[in-house]
Amino acid sequence: EIVLTQSPATLSLSPGERATLSCRASQSVSTYLAWYQQKPGQAPRLLIYDASNRATGIPARFSGSGSGTDFTLTISSLEPGDFAIYYCQQHTTWPPGATFGQGTKVEIK
C-alpha cells in the first residue's frame, strides 16, 4: 500500500502570507496526485488534480507541483477563507483503491 505523509501537521500563518504544504509518497505515484480542502463541518473540495491542474472554479493562488514521490501545494497569499485542513490523495493504484495523507491544518497565527 502506498503511504502518503503530509508535513507539517499544522501550519500557523497570517493572512497574506504564502503557505507551502508538502506531501511525500512511499513510492512513486507519477503525477496521480490530488489535493483537497476541507473546512469545519463541510465536505472536502477538490483543488488540484494530476499534481498541478486546478479544478474548476479554484482560484489561481492555489498551485500544485511535483512528480514521483514529492509534491507541494502552494497558496500564494492566504485569504481568510483558506484556513482549513488540506489533504493529498494518490490515485495511481486506481482501480481499485486510493489513499489519502493525514492532512495539514493551516491555522491563523
Positions touching other proteins (CB under 8 A) are 32, 34, 36, 42-46, 49, 55, 87, 89, 91, 93-103
Q: How near is the Cβ of 42 to other proteins at its closest, in Å?
A: 8
The nearer residue to other proteins, 68 or 103, going by C-beta atoms, is: 103
The nearer residue to other proteins, 32 or 83, going by C-beta atoms, is: 32
Cell triple for 65: 507541483
C-alpha to C-alpha distance for 10 and 79, rounded to whole angstroms: 17
Q: How near is the Cβ of 47 to other proteins at its closest, in Å?
A: 10
The nearer residue to other proteins, 19 or 88, going by C-beta atoms, is: 88
Amino acid at residue number 99: T
Amino acid at residue number 107: E
